[in-house]
Amino acid sequence: MEQRQRVVNELRAMGARVIKVFMETCSGKLGYANENGLTKPYTAVRTRAARYALRNDAVLVAESVSRYLRSDFYQKDRQDVRPSCDEWEELKFRTLDVPLYTLEVPSIRPDAERKIQTLRGLEAKRPYAKRRKPKKPGYMKERREALLPVVMELRKAGNSMRIIAKRTGVPFTTINDWLKRC
């Protein structure tokens, strides 16, 4: 389940009414301009969301604190760096003092937060993310012995190896190998 859907589902489970969803993909760092021009991207979506929340007497909700703000010193190898007081004040200013809520505890450790995000990502890819059960020795031979008569019958009927592969679920290169051996 993707992050947005998780937030919406958990809010609805708590009885909250979701009136609008704003999505933003950026570094999580606040943008600012200096005399040389724009050095970091302004997060216009965050400000639009805050204005909308202010007009509708609502609050902003994110999965975790890092979804609102990351320190200017945050890096891939230094994920434990927390935002400074000045960065929090800037976020407060940009969100127009609209209350900010998170699903996770604001003091969650970065490694625990990353674990939650990883599990959410795996959940989104569920059929592919599961570990496969170890196969018993000889499983390929059993499969070949079970499917080879079907493959040979389909081939005699004039079907191509790709069509046979689609019907049996066996890669066409494997079917080619089987037919060469017979």
pLDDT at residue 34 above 60?
Answer: no
Q: Residues 86, 12: one domain?
A: yes
Q: Residues 10, 71: one domain?
A: yes
Residue 35's pLDDT band, with cuts at 50, 70 and 90, is very low
Q: Residues 84, 43: one domain?
A: yes
Mean pLDDT of the chain: 79
Q: How many domains are there within the chain? A: 2
Average confidence (pLDDT) over 56-84:
77
Residue 106 lies in a domain: yes
Q: Which residue has better confidence, 8 or 73?
A: 8
Q: Residues 70, 148: one domain?
A: no
Number of neighbours of residue 63 by Cβ within 10 angstroms:
19
Residue type, 157: A
According to DSSP, the β-strands at 60-62 and 33-34 are: unpaired
Residue 159 lies in a domain: yes
Nearest-angstrom CA–CA distance, 116 and 127: 19
According to DSSP, the β-strands at 37-38 and 33-34 are: antiparallel
Residue 134 lies in a domain: no
Nearest-angstrom CA–CA distance, 40 and 33: 7
Q: Residues 121, 158: one domain?
A: no
Residue 54 lies in a domain: yes
pLDDT at residue 174 above 60?
Answer: yes
Residue 10 lies in a domain: yes
Q: Residues 86, 152: one domain?
A: no
Q: Domain of residue 156: give its range.
A: 139-181
Residue 118's pLDDT band, with cuts at 50, 70 and 90, is confident
Q: Residues 26, 8: one domain?
A: yes
Q: Residues 45, 107: one domain?
A: yes
Residue 42 lies in a domain: yes
Q: What is the pLDDT of residue 173?
A: 92
Contact 70, 27 (CB under 8 A): yes
CA torsion sign, 164 to 170 to 175 to 176? positive
Nearest-angstrom CA–CA distance, 26 and 12: 26
Q: Residues 165, 116: one domain?
A: no
Residue 64 lies in a domain: yes
Domain-terminating residue out of 85, 100, 129: 129
Residue with tokens 């204005």: 51
Contact 11, 61 (CB under 8 A): yes
Q: What is the pLDDT of residue 158?
A: 93
Residue 37, beta-bridge partner list? 34
Nearest-angstrom CA–CA distance, 172 and 169: 9
Q: Residues 143, 124: one domain?
A: no
Q: What is the pLDDT of residue 137?
A: 87
Q: What is the pLDDT of residue 25?
A: 57
Q: What is the pLDDT of residue 146?
A: 92
Element (H, E) at 114: helix 110-124
Q: Residues 32, 111: one domain?
A: yes
Q: Residues 51, 72: one domain?
A: yes
Q: What is the pTM of this model?
A: 0.55
Length in residues, the chain = 182
Reading phi first (left if > 0) and then psi (alpha if -120 to 50, else beta), residue 111 is in: alpha
Nearest-angstrom CA–CA distance, 41 and 54: 23
pLDDT at residue 38 above 50?
Answer: no
